[in-house]
Each structure stands twice: as structure tokens, then as C-alpha cells.
Amino acid sequence: MKLRRKKAKPITLKDVTIIDDSKLRKAITAAALGNAMEWFDFGVYGFLANALGKVFFPEASPGVQLVATLATFSVPFLIRPLGGLFFGRLGDKYGRQKILAITIIIMSISTFSIGLIPSYAMIGVWAPILLLLCKMAQGFSVGGEYTGASIFIAEYSPDRKRGFMGSWLEFGSIAGYVLGAGVVLLITALIGEQGLDSWGWRLPFFLAFPLGVIGLYLRHALEETPAFQQHVETMEQGDREGLQDGPKISFGEVVRKYWRSFLCCIGVVIVTNVTYYMLLTYMPSYLSHSLGYTEEQGVLIIIAIMMGMLFIQPVIGLLSDRFGRRPFVIGGSIALFLLAVPAFRLIDSGLQPLIFSGLLVLAVILNCFTGVMASSLPAMFPTQVRFSALASAFNISVLIAGLTPTVIAWLVEATSNLMMPAYYLMAVAAIGIVTGLAMRETANKPLRGAAPAASDIEEAKEILKEHHASIEQQIEDIEAEITRLEAQRRRLIDQHPRIEA
């Protein structure tokens, strides 16, 4: 019996989702604020690495203190994949908004608690143990934070503006670093490095609580994303009930079915986050510990660099909507491979203008990645498994990237070679080049498994017109291919003595 293929329903103007501008702005603000708080803590931890080493590991040498403090920074990344699996499944089960509210609560409480931990001099080995526990709680919550926030913005954004809108998530990350650096600098200026080492290091962590309250308020007031609402509403009743049991596809099946997207996601995250942690977490300690600058000088240089990144970030996102995401991943990776060594030569020169130039080169390259990551990754997976698949791939990658500060600090300490960070970046750049060549272009296209999204009715009409034009072109291509095959068939028949048309 021959099965009849069900005719696909034509896409009409009603099928194009019109995005409400006010809801979009609220979504971006709420998502970016939570991400800013996450990176505020990471930034503060990096800027205070030397001070925290004296407080929690006072009996070790300065070099070992730095490695131990950065190791405490890296260990929680072992927990992030567990948080990603946990929150990813919940995000595909209950929606994105609820998960983002939960993650910001855990993150703000664990960050605030770091400021309450007594020093090693007071409670001995329990001090670093408590620090590690707080960092592990952060790692668990962050496992669902970035992926949830990027998905939230992507599912709220019009197709033609997803790159620009997604770039504001990383704008929040950089802004969090700037805020963390500014707070450390201000406290150091007011109480001096001795006061900072004694008790002032606690103050930046206390800021996490009010930031968390504001973020929770904004996220709690948000509606669920249009893409997820559409996913639930269009399911049959039985499937909708099954949604409460979580994604029906297992992690192994996700990897097998979407292996290319999974590997591309891992590659993009590794090249982005290794460069990120190298520049914004490890570099302040590198400037002060390895090059002999004061912590204040190191922080001032990084603040200036990050302020420049804030201006470049949305520009990259905007350009990616016009030229695509792949050119920035490929171009940024090639630039990182070619310029990593020259950049560190400038940084190691001892001259502040050259140091600034070297850091600026790395910052612009980093912007090429951060400007497109939040818009590229969610587009790689369909709605029904987007959160769980992306959270898994993202946090596996971050598990590798998160070791960057510790590994680099150890390599420099063990080899006394200040160029080790550059060689490390070159190896990562090779991964980025391969990934950029392998990934599919997603700019100006609907999210996988979702309806087209537009800013207004006029844009919706244009999208529909382009969609129909694309179909017409595909039909013409198929007809041309049929004509070519018919001609080839005729030639082969003519060559055979017993076959007739």
C-alpha cells in the first residue's frame, strides 16, 4: 500500500510572529543583568586573586597562592555540566522564564556568602573549603544561567535583529566585569591594598545581593518566550501532557541526532571562553604577579580595555545580522592564531602604551566571538530540546575553558616562559577555524523549529515575500536539475542498443 504524503500547510502572514518591542527590551534587560552579575563575580574574583590567595592560602608562596586561588575558580566548572543537565531539562519542561528566576537566586546567595567566610587565620582549612563550596554552588547555577539567558533573548528577537539583540547579553557580561573592576579599584583607592587584603575584599561580594534582588524582580515579571509558547500551543494534547515529563529525547540521542550542531557549539564556546578567561580573569593577575605591576595598575589597564569592548560589542552584533555569524568566527580565529604572539610581545614590553595595544588586539578579537555567540548557539537546536542540548554542549565546553586561568598560571610558573599564554591561544584558535568552517550560517533565518519572527507587520510581509521567493528559486533549481538529468538519461539510452525511451 502506497502511503500518501500529507500536504504541508502554506505559510501565511498569520504564521509570522510579531515581536512586541517593549517585551523585547524587558527580556534583554532582565537576561543581561543576570549575566552581568555572573561575570561581576568572576571579574571580582580575578581582580582579587592575589588578595584572596593571602586570605585563604597564607602559608603558601605567592606563586602557589595564585595557582591555588585560580584553581578554586576553576574547580566549580566541574559542576557546571551537572547544572546544565539539571536546568536544561527543566527549561525544556517548564519554560525558560522560571529557570532564569531560580538561577539568579542561587547565584546571588552563593556570591554574597563568599563575603561572609572567615579567613584562614580564624578557622584554618575550613576557610578554603567554604570558599570552594560557595564557588561550586555558583557553578551549578551558572550551568543554566548563560544558556537560559541566550535562549530567552534569541526566542524573543526578530530574525533580522537576533545578532544585535543577542550581543547585549555579552554587553552585560563585559559591563559586569567593568563594574567588578571599578568596585575593586574604588575600594583599593579608599582603604589601600593593606585594607583590601584585611577586610575590603569582602565588600564587592556583598553587592551581589541587591543586584540579585533587582534581577529576580525583572525576570519574575517577564512572560514566557513566544517560541516556547508556540511550541506548547501547537502540540497535540497528548504531547502537551508529555511535556511535563521533560524532553522525550535522551542526551545520547541529542548528540547522535544533532552531532554537528553539538560539536560546532563546543568549538565556538571553547574559543570564545578561553580568550575571555585569558583576557579578563587571568590577565590582571598576570600583569601584577608575572610582570610586577601593582594590582591597581593592572585593573586600570583592564578597565580601559573593557570600556572599549563595550562600544565594539553591539557593532559586531549589528554587522553579523548583515554579513552573517560565520565570517566573525572564522576571521576572529585566524586573527587570534596570527596575532597571539605579537600581542603578548607587546604586553611583555614593559611600556604602558604597548601593553595597552597588545591587550586591545586581544579584546577586539574577543569581540568577534562574543558579538555572535549568543545569537549563534540557540539557532543550532530545535525548540523542544534547545535548552537541554545547548546547556549540555555549552557546559562541557566551559569545563575545558574554565581551566584556562589555572593551567596558564601553572605553565608560566613551571616554565618561567611568559609566552605560554600566547601558545595556548594559538592552539585554541585552530579549533575556532575548524568550527567556523563547519558551522551553518543562521543569520536572518528563523530559529530551528520555530516560526519566522518580525519586528512589525511590514517586516513580516517582507519576510514572507523572501520566503516565497526562496521557494520559487528552489523549484527553479529542481526543474533545472530535472532537465539536466533527463538530457543525461537520453544520452545513456542512445548509447544502449536494446533500451528505448
57-68: per-residue pLDDT in tens?
776 666 666 666
Structure-model confidence comparison of residues 121 and 360, the more confident one: 360
Percent over 70 (pLDDT), the chain: 86
Residues contacting 266, CB < 8 A, separation 6+: 393, 396, 397
The domain in which residue 490 lies consists of 457-501
Q: What is the CATH number of the domain that holds 314?
A: 1.20.1250.20
Mark whether 485 and 411 lie in a shared domain.
no
Mean pLDDT of 88-105: 83
Is 72 part of a structural domain of the chain?
yes
Distances (CA, A) of 382 to 253, 369, 386, 446: 14, 22, 5, 10
Q: What is the distance, to the nearest Å, from the Cα of residue 36 to the centroid of all Cα atoms in its chain? A: 12
Mark whether 354 and 421 lie in a shared domain.
yes
Over residues 462-475, the pLDDT tens digits come to 877 776 776 777 78
pLDDT band at residue 107 under the 50/70/90 scheme = confident
Over residues 363-414, the pLDDT tens digits come to 999 999 999 999 999 999 888 888 888 888 888 887 788 778 778 878 887 8
HEC profile of 213-266 = HHHHHHHHCCCCCHHHHHHHHCCCHHHHHHHCCCCCCCHHHHHHHCHHHHHHHH
Mark whether 380 and 477 lie in a shared domain.
no
Question: What is the distance between the alpha carbons of residues 468 and 470, in angstroms, rounded to a whole number?
Answer: 5
Q: Among the three residues 455, 474, 489, which one is the final residue of a domain in this structure?
A: 455
Mark whether 438 and 470 lie in a shared domain.
no
Mark whether 410 and 479 lie in a shared domain.
no
| Residue spans of beta strands (DSSP E) within 110-235 | none
pLDDT at 241: 46
Question: What is the distance between the alpha carbons of residues 320 and 330, in angstroms, rounded to a whole number?
Answer: 13
Mark whether 436 and 463 lie in a shared domain.
no
Mark whether 400 and 349 lie in a shared domain.
yes
Mean pLDDT of 425-452: 89
With residue 133 as reference, give the H or E element that holds it.
Answer: helix 126-156
DSSP assigned state of 441: P
Per DSSP, the three-state class of 201 is: coil
Residues contacting 319, CB < 8 A, separation 6+: 163, 328, 371
Mark whether 72 and 129 lie in a shared domain.
yes
Count of structural domains within the chain: 2
Over residues 233-259, the pLDDT tens digits come to 665 444 444 444 445 566 677 778 888
Mark whether 315 and 464 lie in a shared domain.
no
Mark whether 126 and 88 lie in a shared domain.
yes
Question: What is the distance between the alpha carbons of residues 425 and 440, in angstroms, rounded to a whole number?
Answer: 24
Rounded to the nearest 10 degrees, what angle do helices 326-347 and 259-277 cross at?
30
Mean pLDDT of 283-295: 71
Mark whether 463 and 374 lie in a shared domain.
no
